[in-house]
Structure 1
Amino acid sequence: MSAEPENTLKIAHQAFAHLQHGLATSDWHPMLDLLTEDFTFWFPVGAYHGLNVGKERAQAFFQHVSEVFGTTIKVTSLERVTSNETTVVFEFRDEGLMFGEPYANRIAVSFDVRGDKICGYREYFGSDGKSN
């Protein structure tokens, strides 16, 4: 049975809003509440590099993000949203402080939706975030 595209978009937009809220406040509870118990995520670098499994691992990851950025990171522009029946990708720019130093980047995050929950997350980044 296929997911309804409208529901997929609704849930993914909710997750993106919760992601922004967590970055701005270090309150990750709304995001964690939206995750399935078998949630998986992929991150490109550091201690969480590669595939990670479970809500407890996600909670540790989000706590780590808060330790790295504090509450300084803000999404400055949403560049593109691409979706199909089960997955939504948000491409955006963000900036703030990372370990107290100026930070800006272009990010793509992908949310996999199952029912009214997020079952998967992938993050990609790597540009300097400068407007060209």
Structure 2
Amino acid sequence: MTQYSENTLKVAQQAFENLTHGMATGEWEPLLDMLTEDFTLWFPMAKFHGLNVGKERAREFFEYVSESFNPGLKLAGLDRVTSNETTAVFEFRDEGLLFGQPYKNRVAVSFDVRGDKICGYREYFGSDGKSY
């Protein structure tokens, strides 16, 4: 593994820790502090469907996540981490309440890394939300 890809994985792992902390607590500042000004976010549904650009749009998205999963979303397991020179993908299971209803899902998030910052985030999920 090259030093560059080791840095990518280290930065992405910190971003993932900040993401799961934000999911559980609603405290997003540690993750938001890691984002570049030209940050891009891709999400597959709802009012954030498609490409979203900028830190303020990211703040709106993560606040929406907290509102949707109040009182919080718990990481149920990290299944796989894959990385290359610029990107790391985390495949995991999460659970909680989605608008007050029981929720479980499998999710993959991809972090694009530039230096010590996150410049891109893509999220994918596929189960029906009722079971793993």
**TM-score category, normalised to shorter length:** over 0.9
Residue 83 (structure 1) aligns with: 83
**What stretches of structure 1 move > 6 A for 4+ residues in a row?**
none
Residue 6 (structure 1) aligns with: 6
Residue 115 (structure 1) aligns with: 115
User: Is the contact made by 1:79 and 1:91 (CA closer than 8 Å) also made in structure 2?
Assistant: yes
CA distance in structure 2 between the aligned counterparts of 1:36 and 1:17, rounded to whole angstroms? 18
**Cα displacement string for residues 65-95 of structure 1 (whole angstroms, at most 9, x for unaligned residues):** 0000023310111010011000000000000
Residue 66 (structure 2) aligns with: 66
Give the CA deviation at 1:39.
0.2
Letter in 1 for 2:42: W
Letter in 2 for 1:81: V
Could you tell me which runs of 5 or more consecutive residues in structure 1 were left unpaired when the two chains were aligned: none
User: Is the contact made by 2:26 and 2:72 (CA closer than 8 Å) also made in structure 1?
Assistant: no
DSSP 3-state at the match of 2:85: coil
Describe how 1:34-73 pairs up with structure 2 within 5 A: 34-73=34-73
CA distance in structure 2 between the aligned counterparts of 1:107 and 1:8, rounded to whole angstroms? 20
**Cα displacement string for residues 23-72 of structure 1 (whole angstroms, at most 9, x for unaligned residues):** 11101000000000000010000000000000000000001000000233
Give the CA deviation at 1:119.
0.1
Describe how 1:13-32 pairs up with structure 2 within 5 A: 13-32=13-32
CA distance in structure 1 between the aligned counterparts of 2:41 and 2:59, rounded to whole angstroms? 11
Give the CA deviation at 1:126.
1.8
**Cα displacement string for residues 95-120 of structure 1 (whole angstroms, at most 9, x for unaligned residues):** 00000100000000000000000000
Give the CA deviation at 1:3.
7.3
TM-score normalised to structure 1 length: 0.95
Could you tell me which runs of 5 or more consecutive residues in structure 2 were left unpaired when the two chains were aligned: none
